[in-house]
Amino acid sequence: MKKSKVVVAGSFIVDVVGFAPRFPKDGETVIGSTVKFGPGGKGSNQATAASRAGAEAIMITKIGVDVLSNIAIEHYNAEGMSQKYVYRTDKAPTGTAFIEVSETTGENRIIVVKGANELLSAVEVAAAEEEIATCDAVLAQLESSDEAIVELFRLAMRHGKRIILNPAPARQVPEGLFEVVDYLTPNETEAEYFSGVPVKNPEDAGLAAEKLLGLGVKNVIITLGKHGAFYSDGNNKLLVPTTDLKAVDTTGAGDAFCGALAVALSEGMDILRAIRFANCAASISVTRAGTSQAMPYRHEINELYARFYGN
């Protein structure tokens, strides 16, 4: 089968991850067990997830010229991903994320400094128009510049392409942005931010999805962690349970889900199968430490899908 193509305009960020038995309270110091540096950023994580899940992933991003930028180059070389649209600037540092991971719960807390990602321009995205014209889906997040996201969506609409937006991290977006989105993929926190509905359970997710659909989005998929994912297009509603794998590090789970979802939809899977496929990718990712390096490969996703969901 011919590979699908997914174009991702988004962030590359170096993850600085510290592991400790628990999170510190305000003003408290907790002794950690280890620290790791690695490739991350929501955009790059999702592109990596899409690539490993079986697509040709085209990454559009911007990094600095500092020592941390070498982590990006090494990562894309190792993954066999094109660097044609990986731009560099000396006007800002490579983006960085400071991540705390609780070894007890697997949960995380993150501070992101977007750095060079804020400088990704519409002109640089437009340079990839031929890739967008020949792709099966475009995928964006909110960790890069507004103008880059708007231009990606403008070109996707021009060429009639599927538009997927992971609205993370939650922040104010340009007016009308949601109106062109085919699939919106928030987690509980992001769904609450954009809908005004606190999401504590699947019933709340249904109410939040109604609000999000009212903003013009065509399909909403709210990821609910261990409860799976809730889907609505206004007429059809699904709660898709996730697998039984135990979480070690939940950082990047949403990115694994979004990258795999883009591949599944690009390959023509129906929405139930696509969400199950994405659930499997996210489930595998949380059994491993790190973000980009934790993204699963296609054979792993297929094996878990067959074991947990059947055919």
CA 161 – CA 156 distance, rounded (Å): 5
Residue 215 makes CB contacts below 8 A (sequence gap 6+) with 178, 179, 194
CA 151 – CA 85 distance, rounded (Å): 14
Structure tokens at 230: 């809730």
Catalytic positions, written as ranges: 255
Q: Which amino acid is at 28?
A: E
As separate numbers, helices (DSSP H) first and strands (DSSP E) second, the chain gives 10, 13
Contact 121, 240 (CB under 8 A): no
Structure tokens at 57: 């992933």
Is the preceding peptide bond at 296 cis, omega within 30 degrees of 0? no
Structure tokens at 108: 């995380």
- Alpha-carbon distance values, 200 to 83, 102, 227, 303 (Å): 40, 21, 10, 31
131 phi/psi in degrees, rounded to 5 = -65, -40
CA 285 – CA 253 distance, rounded (Å): 6
Structure tokens at 246: 């135990």
CA 130 – CA 23 distance, rounded (Å): 46
CA 275 – CA 95 distance, rounded (Å): 30
